[in-house]
Amino acid sequence: MCANLMQALAVAVLSAITCGVSANELATASAGIAPSVSQTVNEMIVIDAERALKAEKKMLADAEARLDGQSVTGQVPITGAISGVASENPEEPPQPTVAPVSVEVLGIFGLGHSLMADVAINGSRVRFKRGQLHPLGVAPGYPFKLVSIKTPCVKVVDSAKAEHEACLVKKF
């Protein structure tokens, strides 16, 4: 009997979180659902529900901020065209921003066809071997391919066919 009441209470809490019900409404509803559950347990459930709701709202706000204001909740954000203000060029879709590629040669070693280069691409370390397009141990779908290793420089090409060259820098 008590397990069924707890399950009903848990369903009510989850429903309240997803529907945005306030903590006071949830406390009133939970008091009617489970009168045999102690007041302390009800208060703890309400506190957990409030924390979960705040965390969910913060997570959604952070996700929307990362996506430059695009809605992740399925709701359409209000734009100039919707609010009655015409945009400058409604026919042109916004151009996607291209993240800069960071290529750094960490080391070149070996001889001849066994020449290898350790390269950091956007902070991820990979090892290229002369004569092979793909880095060692990386799936063929990796977006960067080796063009050449010419000591002290390494040239790679990305999936958009843009070449990136980096040379070994002596650091003291």
Question: What amino acid occupies position 68?
Answer: D
Predicted confidence pLDDT, tens digits, the chain (172 residues): 455 555 666 666 555 555 555 555 655 555 555 555 567 777 888 888 888 878 877 877 777 777 665 554 555 444 444 444 444 555 666 666 667 889 999 999 999 889 999 999 998 999 999 999 999 998 878 999 999 999 899 999 998 899 999 998 877 7
Q: How far apart are CA 108 and CA 83, in angstroms?
A: 57
Instruction: Give the tokens for residue 20.
Output: 């945005």
Backbone angles phi, psi at 129, to 5 degrees: -120, 135
Domain extent listing, the chain: 2-66, 103-167
The per-residue DSSP string of 23-38 comes to: HHHHHHHHHHH-TTS-
The pLDDT score that the predictor gives to residue 140 is 75
115 neighbors 149 (Cβ within 8 angstroms): yes
Q: How far apart are CA 136 and CA 109, in angstroms?
A: 14
26 neighbors 7 (Cβ within 8 angstroms): no
Q: How far apart are CA 83 and CA 133, in angstroms?
A: 51
The pLDDT score that the predictor gives to residue 144 is 94
Q: Are strands 145-150 and 163-167 parallel, antiparallel or unpaired?
A: unpaired
Place of tokens 């042109």: 92
Q: How far apart are CA 143 and CA 117, in angstroms?
A: 17
The pLDDT score that the predictor gives to residue 33 is 52
